[in-house]
Structure 1
Amino acid sequence: CGAWGCLEQFTNLEVRVLSVCAQQITTLFAAIREKRLEFVFSDGEQVYMDNKVGLFMTRDEHDTASQFDLRRTPSICNAFRTFAISEADTYAVIYVSLVSFGFRVQDAASTANKIKMLYMFCEHRLSKQAHYHFRLKNISNVLHALRSLRLKSSSSGENADLNTIVVTVLRQVNILQLVPEDVSIFMSLLAELFPGLSNGIGSRASD
């Protein structure tokens, strides 16, 4: 068992808050290195240690604001061993998330591939805009919205089709950021990847 958390734009926190985080991270890593069964956390509380615990941090090397904050709190960076990844496996992220939301494995596999293809097409076919994000950040927003809709439909006793929910969320997350000339292209991509819903998509394209 385990837990995973994502603190988006973590380095936009105030420097004094980052300093506290650095102290807590250092305390945790010291306990891991010393293989303690329990240790005293920074707030003075006695904490039991699971020796399987791990802590990872990702950062954008091109984000100059984040780099500035991290330089002012070098103890955070110094606590971590640095390694680089070329690109996240978006299919795996989407697939695992959909399964964890309670969707069937077969449906999740097919839909994950469609979402991955959609964002790949968006990067190549839509115009280049500074505010466009068709990578993991945008996909994460889609997954969060999917989870919320899934929970809502389950609590109301509905058994909504995965593709229907996905198309709804993809429109909600992406349409508002698109410039007018890209909206029709995006909608045609949706209709191409989700042909069974093409009529419904087309009728809502001008919402």
Structure 2
Amino acid sequence: FQAVGQILAGLVQCGAWGCFDEFNRIDISVLSVISTQLQTIRSALVNKVNRFPFEGVEIDLDMKVGVFITMNPGYAGRTELPESVKALFRPVVCILPDLEMICMISLFSDGFLQAKVLAKKMTVLYKLAREQLSKQSHYDWGLRALTAVLRMAGVMKRASPELPETLVLMRALRDMNYPKFVYEDVPLFLDLIKDLFPGKDCPRVEYAGFNEAVVKVLESNKYILLPVQMDKVVQLYETMMTRHSTMVVGPTGGGKTVVINTLCDAQTQMGLMTKTYTINPK
């Protein structure tokens, strides 16, 4: 609450607007203190004072200040807002976004002529995957995951304009989702893609020089060349190119360290010096 108090004091003095995202993730005991801080600011605004006491210090008040909060009620790990906090804010309810419409507009803007049909296929695939695949904490079938695929599809379309549009989207959907699946879900997801894109075969992309570098690194470290593990290195390489941060998840002895180290050594062999720094999260 002290950190939030400092932020609020800064907003009040400079007249800025502040938006607190996922506000109901804050612990209920802290929310009660924050509600008192907000009530103090509101009273100062109602009384139109130039200065007022806040957290033991007298500060200036800029009347242009505004405080907004966003929240997702009903989610796990979220707190129900106390009535004292609710009373300070005017509610604005947002409906679920039309995913198909968003996909269609994004595909059209990237030059896809069959955007309407492809947008339908994308949203149906994500709906079926959400219903039929196993429930994992790292699976995401929402708008954020869809926009990442759309960005990748746009990049592929510009890089290979001669490829059929259905093949471009099929490859983006497969390559952006494939790395995150647990072993049992892989064949199910590939079958869903085959059903939605019948008769289309989309081989994995070969990266000039990189695949050969991966083989050399694995052989030099005396590892048996397993296609599944080599492909996992390529998947990590693709993920690192399209995501800001990456989490490698798996059981002890599952090959996480080998995959990470192989990627680093392969990139170093190709002239891209890559170093790893281990940080203890504890």
Question: TM-score when scaled to structure 2?
Answer: 0.45
Q: Distance in 1 between matches of 2:94 and 2:20?
A: 10
User: Percentage identity across aligned positions?
Assistant: 26
1:77 matched residue in structure 2: 68
Give the residue type in structure 2 aligned to 1:174. N
Equivalent residue for 1:189, pick from 172, 184, 192: 192
Equivalence for 1:171: 174
Question: What residue number does 2:25 align with?
Answer: 64
* Structure with more contact order per residue of length (Cα contacts < 8 Å, sep ≥ 6): 1
Residue matched to 2:132: 125
1:201: Cα distance to partner?
Answer: 6.1
Pair 60,101 (structure 1): closer, same or farther in 2 beyond 3 Å: farther
Runs of 5+ unmatched residues, structure 1: 1-13, 29-56
Per-residue deviation, 1:132: 0.4
As a proportion of its length, which structure holds more helix? 1
Distance 1:110 1:81 in 2: 40
After superposition, give the CA deviation of every residue in 1:51-93 in whole Å (9 maximum; x if it has no partner): xxxxxx89557x727xx9xx79x75417x96422231100000
Distance, in Å, in 2 between the alignment partners of 1:167 and 1:110 is 13
Q: C-alpha distance in 2, partners of 1:176/1:96? A: 27
Q: Is the Cα–Cα contact under 8 Å of residues 119 and 134 in structure 1 kept in the other structure?
A: yes
Give the counterpart of 1:150 among 146, 150, 157. 157
Q: Which runs of 5+ in 2 are unaligned?
A: 39-65, 70-88, 205-227, 232-282
CA deviation after TM superposition for structure 1 residue 184, in Å: 0.4
Equivalent-residue separation in structure 2 for 1:143 and 1:162 (angstroms): 12
Distance 1:102 1:180, change over 3 A: same
Matches within 5 A, 1:31-110: 59-60=21-22, 64=25, 75-77=66-68, 82-104=91-113, 107-110=114-117
The residue type equivalent to 2:68 in the other structure is C
Alignment-mate amino acid for residue 108 of structure 1: A
- The answer as to whether partners of 1:191 and 1:201 remain within 8 angstroms in 2 is no
TM-score, normalised to structure 1's length? 0.59
The size of the alignment, in residue pairs, is 156
Deviations 1:109-161 (A, max 9, x none): 000000000000010000000110011010011011112112223xxxx4221
Separation (CA, whole Å) in 2 of partners of 1:174 and 1:144:
13
Larger Rg: 2
Amino acid at match of 1:200: C
